[in-house]
């Protein structure tokens, strides 16, 4: 009987696959039948615009986990409203720091804030209103009292960084989003350069995007707390 040996793997041992935007653009054009030797300056101009429009649209599908970071804002007694970095898409979990302890605060709508009779009331902050203007701000209530709370901390989802073709720049997306990005880019470019292929590429782009979105979640349990009244200080 012939003895079956142990198979030896000859993998690379590296995890460096991170193609430049230029490489992804060439691949996207190949998907619509335009070979690299046929690409003109107009193709590159359209690709740059399509790339950044695509990245903007990715922010509309939920929280992009790789763009979430923590921001800390010192609080000033009697000041309710604070500037927010314009590249902030969403404010997520927020909490205030009081005597070295963190206490969660919850979001409210513009309508709910408008309903408060005393918007200048000072005390321990319990809620925040994120006013999403071109120059966004966050308003806290009750208005911070520096003797009670010292700073606001919040996780936010920021805008994905711009992408450019110069100097071999890469795209600010994780590895598992590469296919979704390339398929989405190919679809957008096909609408300009190969409209006869747009329908099929649109279906493929949607499938790749959904697969990426399904895996763009935190692996954690969800807990529902029906009552938090005892959590807040009077």
Buried-state track 102-133, b at ≥16 Cβ within 10 A, e below 16: ebebebbeeeebeeeeeeeebebbbbbbbeee
| Position 233 confidence tier, pLDDT thresholds 50, 70, 90 | very low
Parallel, antiparallel, or unpaired: how do β-strands 143-144 and 122-123 relate? parallel
* Cis status of the peptide bond prior to 142, with omega within 30 of 0: yes
Contact yes or no for 128/59 (Cβ under 8 A)? no
Q: With contact defined as beta carbons under 8 Å apart, do 160 and 87 qualify?
A: no
Give 181's pLDDT tier (boundaries 50, 70, 90). very high
pLDDT tens-digit map of 108-152: 999 999 999 999 999 989 999 999 999 999 999 999 987 777 899
Residues contacting residue 50 through CB under 8 Å, at least 6 positions apart? 185, 188, 189, 192
pLDDT for position 234: 44
| Spans of all domains in the chain | 21-62+161-214, 65-159
Tell me what the mean pLDDT of segment 211-233 comes to: 69
Q: Any idea how long the chain is?
A: 234
Q: Residue 32 — very low, low, confident or very high, per pLDDT cuts 50/70/90?
A: very high
Tokens of 133: 């203007």
- Beta bridge partner(s), residue 103: 96
- Convert the pLDDT of each residue in 80-116 to its tens digit: 999 999 999 999 999 999 888 899 999 999 999 999 9
Question: What percent of the chain is modeled with pLDDT above 90?
Answer: 80
Residue 221 has pLDDT above 90, yes or no: no
Whether the per-residue pLDDT at 232 is higher than 80: the answer is no
Q: What percent of the chain has pLDDT over 70?
A: 91
pLDDT digits (tens, 9 = 90+) for 36-71: 999 999 999 999 999 999 999 998 998 999 999 999
Q: Is the pLDDT of residue 230 over 50?
A: no
């Amino acid at each position: 009987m012939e003895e079956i040996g142990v198979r030896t793997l000859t993998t690379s041992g590296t995890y460096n696959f991170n193609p430049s935007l230029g490489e992804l653009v060439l691949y996207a054009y190949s998907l619509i039948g335009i070979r690299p030797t046929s690409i003109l300056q107009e193709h590159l101009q359209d690709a740059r615009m399509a790339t950044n429009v695509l990245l903007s649209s990715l922010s509309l599908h939920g929280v992009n986990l790789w763009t979430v970071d923590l921001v800390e804002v010192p609080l000033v007694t009697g000041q309710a409203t604070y500037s927010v970095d314009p590249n902030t898409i969403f404010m997520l979990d927020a909490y205030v720091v009081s005597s070295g302890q963190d206490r969660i605060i919850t979001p409210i709508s513009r309508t709910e804030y408008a309903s408060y009779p005393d918007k200048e009331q000072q005390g321990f902050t319990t809620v925040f209103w994120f006013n999403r203007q071109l120059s966004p701000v966050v308003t806290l209530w009750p208005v911070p009292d520096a003797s009670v709370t010292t700073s606001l901390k919040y996780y936010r989802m920021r805008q994905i960084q711009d992408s450019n073709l110069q100097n071999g720049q890469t795209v600010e997306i994780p590895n598992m989003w590469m296919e979704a990005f390339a398929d989405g880019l190919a679809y957008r470019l096909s609408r300009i350069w190969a409209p006869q292929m747009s329908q099929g590429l649109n279906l493929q782009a949607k499938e790749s995007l959904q697969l990426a979105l399904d895996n763009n979640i935190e692996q954690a349990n969800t807990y529902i707390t029906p009552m938090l009244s005892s959590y807040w200080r009077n």
